[in-house]
Amino acid sequence: MNEQQARTRIQELTAALNDHNYRYYVLAQPSVSDYEYDMLLEELIKLESQFPELVDQNSPSQRVGGQVTKKFPVVRHKYPMLSLGNTYSKEELQDFDQRIRKAIGEQFEYVCELKFDGVAIGITYANGKILRAVTRGDGMQGDEVTPNIKTIRSLPLSLKKEGLPAEFEVRGEVFLPHKSFLKLNQEKISNEEEPFANPRNAAAGSLKTQDSALVAKRGLDSFLYGLFTDTPLFDTHYESLRALKDWGFKVSEFSKKCKTLNEVFLYIETMEQLRPELPFDIDGVVIKVNDYRQQEQLGYTAKSPRWAISYKFKAERVATRLLDVIYQVGRTGAVTPVAVLKPVPVAGTIVKRASLYNADRMAELDLHLLDEVYVEKGGDIIPKIIGVNDSVRPANAQKVQFATHCPECDTPLAKSEGEAIHYCPNSEHCPPQIQGKIEHFISRRAMDIETLGQGRVEILISNGIISNLADLYDLKYEQLLGLEKTITDPITLKTKKFSFREKTVENILNALENSKKVGFERVLFALGIRLLGETMARKLAKHFGNIDALMKASFEELTSVPDVGEKMAFSIIDYFKQPGHQEIVQRLKNAGLKFETQKEAEPRQGPLNGANLVISGVFTHYSRNEIKALIEKNGGKITGSVTSKTTYLVAGENMGPEKRKKAEELGVKIISEDDLEALIKQ
Q: Given 115, 250, 437, 662, which residue is catalytic?
A: 115
**For this structure, is 476 an active site residue?**
no
d(CA 372, CA 392): 7
658, 623, 667, 653: which is closest to 640 by C-alpha? Answer: 658
**Residues ≥6 apart with Cβ < 8 Å to 29:** 23
| Ranges of H-type helices in 409-494 | 431-442, 453-462, 477-480
Under 8 Å between Cβ of 324 and 353: no
234, 67, 259: which is closest to 148 by C-alpha? Answer: 67
| Ranges of H-type helices in 51-135 | 90-104
| Ranges of H-type helices in 122-168 | 146-149
d(CA 583, CA 140): 59
Under 8 Å between Cβ of 221 and 129: no
d(CA 239, CA 436): 53
Which neighbouring-strand residues pair with 616? 651
d(CA 51, CA 240): 40
Under 8 Å between Cβ of 524 and 537: yes
| Ranges of H-type helices in 277-339 | 292-298
d(CA 421, CA 556): 27
Element spanning 674, H or E: helix 673-681
Task: Please count the other Cβ atoms lying within 10 Å of the Cβ belonging to residue 535.
Answer: 14
d(CA 510, CA 506): 6
DSSP category for residue 561: S
Q: Which residues are catalytic?
A: 115
